[in-house]
Amino acid sequence: MTRVWRAREFSTLAILAGELLFFVWYLWPESGPHTFWNQGNLLLILKYSSIYGIAAIGAAIVIISGGIDLAPGAVIALTTVVIGYVFVESGWPLLASCAAGMLVGVGAGLVSAWLVVRVGLPPFIATLGVLGIWRGTAFIITQARFYDLSAKLPRNWEVAGVSIDWLGPVVMVVCAVVFQRLMTGYQWGRSILSVGGNETAALFSGIPVARVKMTAYVIAGLLASASGVVLAIVGGQGKADLASGYELDIIASAVVGGASLAGGRGSVAGAVLGALIFGVLRNGLTQIPGATFYDRLIVGVAVIVIVVMDQVLTRRDTGA
């Protein structure tokens, strides 16, 4: 089975590689340094992709469990606002502020989990409502202001000689490795796949379905707030309208990475690769004159093309 998942991730990786090659070729300069293929720009891509890449790991887990989470964008924004409030207004130390931000994620995840598992709302409706609640809370706290963290953070901050810009990519890779292992090699991950594959069968197999689903939403909330922590520190702001519309990029990353909205299929590593595919696409398009306006359109078409390609390949694979 591992071989099958890996095969799917290889195809995502191939798309990413193809995309990189395209931009390297298309943006090849007539003279001077390459504006796309250089260390600074690649770090920029990683930095921005990691914001929704981290959350996409959680989104993939929820989707594999057979649910959906529309709240991560709002959770990211609320996290930055809470960090800004306690760090700037209340003068908490940075670490304590970030911990407060992570609590936002846990709380948000618990609320979604409670609505889906205990109240029995369809996940789409539950998290759509929750999305509004957290975004709204962020606006109420900020009252049209925003918190400027950058003023209180060191300029050109480096930790152990490495720029703070690397925070996002590092968190994303660490989370991807940890959750990929949990999903493929541990009982918890197997139960997520089981519940997503056939919830009734999971129940009859003695799998604690309610608890498994709750963990998926709580982890999604936690990872969304981890995105928020990174955004607050790297972006230097706590603001209610940050990460607007990210929920769609986050879900799209998971889906392009192989997660099936029907549940039971997908991978954490794939979701991260999916996030990178969109990060590269966005970055490359801004460097092609006039293409910026086509940004959203091209991203939309890319989602459909990649998922259709996947379905065609899967169909051939099953020999149906």
Partner 1 sequence: MADALRFIDVHKSFGAVRALSGVSFSVTRGEAHACVGENGAGKSTLLKILAGTVRPDRGEIEIDGARVDHASPREALAGGVGMVFQERLAFPNLSVTANIFAGREVTRAGGRLDEPAMRARTAQLLADLHLAVSPDVRMEHVSAAHAQLVQVARALAFDCRILVLDEPTTSLTDAEVDHLFHVLGQLKAKGVTLLFVSHRLPEVFRLCDRMTVLRDGRFVGTFVTADTTPDAIVRAMVGREPPERVPRPTPAATGPPALAVQGLSGPPWFEDVSLEVRAGEIVGLFGLVGSGRSELVETIFGLRAPASGTMAVNGREVRPASAREAMRAGLALVPEDRQRLGLHFDLAIRHNLVLPRAVKAGGRRIDTRAETAVAEAEVAALGIRTPSVAARPGTLSGGNQQKVVAGRWLATKPTVLLLDEPTKGVDVGAKFEIHNIIRRRAAERMACLMVSSDLPEVLALADRIVVMREGRLQGEIAGSEATEEAVMRLATHDTKAAT
Q: Quick one: which of 200, 290, 293, 304 contacts partner 1 (CB under 8 A)?
A: 200
| 280 alpha-carbon distance from chain centroid | 15
Amino acid at 99: A
Closest approach of partner 1 to the CB of residue 170, in Å: 25
Among 13, 121, 170, 197, binds partner 1 (CB under 8 A): 197
Q: Is 194 in the site for partner 1 (CB under 8 A)?
A: yes
Give Cβ neighbours of residue 73 (< 8 Å, ≥ 6 apart).
131, 135, 243, 244, 245, 246, 247, 250
Positive/negative CA dihedral, 304, 301, 39, 41: negative
Of 193 and 224, nearer to partner 1 (C-beta) is: 193
The answer to whether 63 contacts partner 1 (rule: CB under 8 A) is no
Report the site for partner 1 in 237-256 (rule: CB under 8 A).
Answer: none
Coil, strand or helix at 237: strand
Residues 2-61 within binding reach of partner 1 (CB under 8 A): 4
Report the residue number, 78 or 207, with the smaller CB distance to partner 1: 207
Confirm or reject binding of residue 120 to partner 1 (CB under 8 A): no
Cβ-based nearer residue to partner 1, 129 or 197:
197
Question: How far apart are alpha carbons 297 and 304 in whole angstroms?
Answer: 11
Q: Which of 108, 207, 254, 281 binds partner 1 (CB under 8 A)?
A: 207
* Own/partner pairs, 102-106, CB within 8 angstroms, 24+ separation: 102/222, 102/225, 102/226, 102/229, 103/225, 104/75, 104/78, 104/79, 104/225, 104/228, 105/75, 105/79, 105/221, 105/222, 105/223, 105/224, 105/225, 105/226, 105/228, 106/218, 106/221, 106/222, 106/225
Can you read off the two tokens belonging to residue 307? Answer: 């998922």
Stretch touching partner 1 by CB under 8 A, among 54-62, 91-99, 172-180, 185-193: 185-193
Residue whose CB is less far from partner 1, 53 or 196: 196
Counting contacts by CB under 8 A, is residue 185 touching partner 1? Answer: yes
Residue 294 interacts with partner 1 (CB under 8 A): yes or no:
no
187 binds partner 1 (CB under 8 A): yes
Site residue total, partner 1 (CB under 8 A): 24
Residue 264 lies near partner 1 (rule: CB under 8 A):
yes
